[in-house]
Amino acid sequence: MDSPIKICCIGAGYVGGPTMAMIAKQCPDVEVHVVDLNQSRIDQWNSDELPIYEPGLDEVVREARGRNLTFSSRIEAAIQHANMIFIAVNTPTKSFGIGVGRAANLEFIEKCARQIAECSTGHKIVVEKSTLPVRTAEAVKRILNSSANGATFDVLSNPEFLAEGTAVQDLLYPDRVLIGGESQEAINRLAQVYGRWIPKDRILTTNLWSSELSKLAANAFLAQRVSSINAISALCEATGADVDEVAKAIGTDSRIGPKFLKSSVGFGGSCFQKDILNLVYLCENFGLHEVAQYWEQVVIMNDYQKRRFSERIVSTMFNTVSDKKIAIWGFAFKKDTNDTRESAAIHVCHNLLEERARLVIYDPRVHESKIRSDLKMAFSDVNGVLSDKHKQLIETNVTVVQDAYVAAKEAHAIAVLTEWDEFKQVDAKRVFDGMRRPAFIFDGRNIVDRSKLTQQGFEVHCIGRS
Ligand code: UDX
Ligand code: UDX
């Protein structure tokens, strides 16, 4: 009989934390130990206020924590004890050296592999959970095989497809689980874990390289749909077509499908841009320049969409926003998360601040400290240095408040940058009464009730509508 599965996961981030909590909840007999270098993150996982906001996650963690789910920074001990080790550390875009701005920085992955090699004995299955360039497993295997303790390893690729804000549902009912590997025995061991709650026909197995590439390709396809509809939104504004009507009309074609056709101020999140740039870099490395250019256009279109939105605000408001108060509704990259990585809001706020607007920012989940540090980062140079001038600009021109109405008070305009449900339900009269005239709304998510707000007296500007 197989020995019991004992899991260690390195990386208690947006992916490692929720995924391991779900495995622990669904498999009470499997020990799950999540470790991270960052002690304060671990402390948060052990507290009542988890480091990430995900609907339903508190309950999942509460059920398993202290039973078969542990969070700690005892990395070595956890590796030694486990027979299955997930690597879920971050793989940011390189900010230096060869491949700067495109390639994935694999420093953390390599460090994890070395640490696993150093402190392992016996046989272990190492699972790549992080999104990685194709053929990273090759390097991971070589490092692991250099283990001086005679330990042996199987390497699997098991990319995570959960989306933030719906992580718990995505983990409970995934469209598919993908496991790539060479050893059928190792694949079966991991499939056994997921098989506790996921139907067998949803567990796909492939070779290692297909699995690594599928994650990059899935994100590239999803981002491409958003850039495609955003490209059409620009044409809608020029022609009088309505992008939501166009999206509905094309989405009813069963070959196209209705999902991921919501035009917006631009996609954000930790994955789309990073993974496409990573794909572009890979293509270039293999001499596939046309393929690289094709995918790069998805990111170029997204940058254009963010810039276009900011420019529209300025041009509509009589070509100047200097010293005007603009309420920013929403800072997260999408609703139901406190994550701001690559959020379109950062770019729009940056552009408006460059025009010397005064911003009053409200987001129901993002802390003020995070908003300020993101804006400081946006104004920093390539070496991370923030000039005194920009520091001063952020200090004097940015206010963060805890209420959408307070943000809009005496504002010349509102920019809706995240599709939080509460923005759909605001008391239009109350907002309007507090604002200056003309009262502009720039809806970067097409969520407000345009006809109701127009009737109220607002001048409403949506994406993809002239
Ligand atoms: C994940 C994946 O790993 C990434 O490849 C994918 O593209 C997106 O999702 P994510 O969970 O969002 O990343 O990253 P993050 O929230 O930054 O969490 C990573 C954690 O790993 C951090 O808490 C960090 O402290 C930890 N870490 C990093 C380590 O414990 N050791 C390291 O060597 C590096
Ligand atoms: C994405 C993938 O969906 C997920 O499978 C992968 O594991 C990680 O990357 P995530 O980044 O969490 O997940 O969110 P997602 O829902 O995909 O949204 C990404 C961005 O696209 C958000 O800024 C969102 O607002 C935007 N978007 C999405 C649109 O603008 N329009 C759409 O129709 C869909």
Kindly report, residue by residue over 137-195, the tens digit of the pLDDT: 999 999 999 988 899 999 999 999 999 999 999 999 999 999 999 999 999 999 999 99
Last-in-domain residue among 206, 222, 250: 206
Within this chain, do residues 310 and 449 fall inside the same structural domain, yes or no?
A: yes
Residue 105 has pLDDT above 60, yes or no: yes
Span from the CA of 269 to the centroid of ligand 2 (angstroms):
7
> Which CATH number covers residue 304?
3.40.50.720
pLDDT at 363 over 70: yes
382, pLDDT greater than 90: no
If one counts the domains in the chain, the total is 2
**Ligand 1 centre from 88 Cα, in Å?**
6
Percent of the chain having pLDDT more than 70?
A: 100
Residue 89 Cβ inside 6 Å of ligand 1? The answer reads yes
Q: Is the CB of 271 under 6 A from ligand 1?
A: yes
Q: Report the predicted TM-score, pTM, of the whole model to 2 decimal places.
A: 0.96
Q: Which ligand 2 atom lies nearest to the CA of residue 162? A: 7
- Selecting among 112, 271, 283, 349, the annotated active-site residue is 271
**Cα 334 to ligand 2 centre (Å):** 8
pLDDT at 321: 98
State which residues form the domain around 418.
272-462
- At 401-412, the pLDDT tens digits run 999 999 999 999
Whether 271 is catalytic is yes
**Ligand found nearest the CA of 10:** 1
What mean pLDDT is reported for the chain?
Answer: 97
Q: pLDDT for 420-455, tens place per residue?
A: 999 999 999 999 999 999 999 999 999 999 999 999
Report whether residue 267 contacts ligand 2, using a CB cutoff of 6 Å.
yes
Query: Is the CB of 340 inside a 6 Å radius of any atom of ligand 1?
Result: no
Same structural domain for residues 179 and 278?
Answer: no
pLDDT of residue 126: 98
* Co-location of 289 and 413 in the same domain: yes
Residue 390 placed within a domain: yes
Report the separation in Å between the CA atom of 85 and the middle of ligand 1, taken as the mean of its atom positions.
15
Is the pLDDT at 1 greater than 80, yes or no? no
Ligand 2: which of 272, 301, 339 to mutate, judged by most atoms within 8 Å of the beta carbon?
272
Q: Residue of the nearest CA to atom 26 in ligand 2?
A: 267
HEC-encoded secondary structure of the chain: CCCCCEEEEECCCCCHHHHHHHHHHHCCCCEEEEECCCHHHHHHHCCCCCCCCCCCHHHHHHHHECCCEEEECCHHHHHHHCCEEEECCCCCECCCCCCCCCCECCHHHHHHHHHHHHHCCCEEEEEECCCCCCCHHHHHHHHHCCCCCCCEEEEEECCCCCCCCCHHHHHHCCCCEEEEECCHHHHHHHHHHHCCCCCHHHEEEECHHHHHHHHHHHHHHHHHHHHHHHHHHHHHHHHCCCHHHHHHHHHCCCCCCCCCCCCCCCCCCCCHHHHHHHHHHHHHHCCCHHHHHHHHHHHHHHHHHHHHHHHHHHHHCCCCCCCCEEEEECCCCCCCCCCCCCCHHHHHHHHHHHCCCEEEEECCCCCHHHHHHHHHHHHCCCCCCCCHHHHHHHHHHEEECCCHHHHHCCCCEEEECCCCHHHCCCCHHHHHHHCCCCCEEEECCCCCCHHHHHHHCCEEEECCCC
In a domain, 419, yes or no: yes
Task: Give the mean model confidence (pLDDT) for residues 285-313.
Answer: 98
- Asked if the model's pLDDT at residue 274 lies above 60, the reply is yes
* Confidence category of residue 127, pLDDT binned at 50, 70, 90: very high
Select from 206, 236, 261 the last residue of a domain: 206
Q: Give residue 57's pLDDT band: very low, low, confident or very high (50, 70, 90).
A: very high
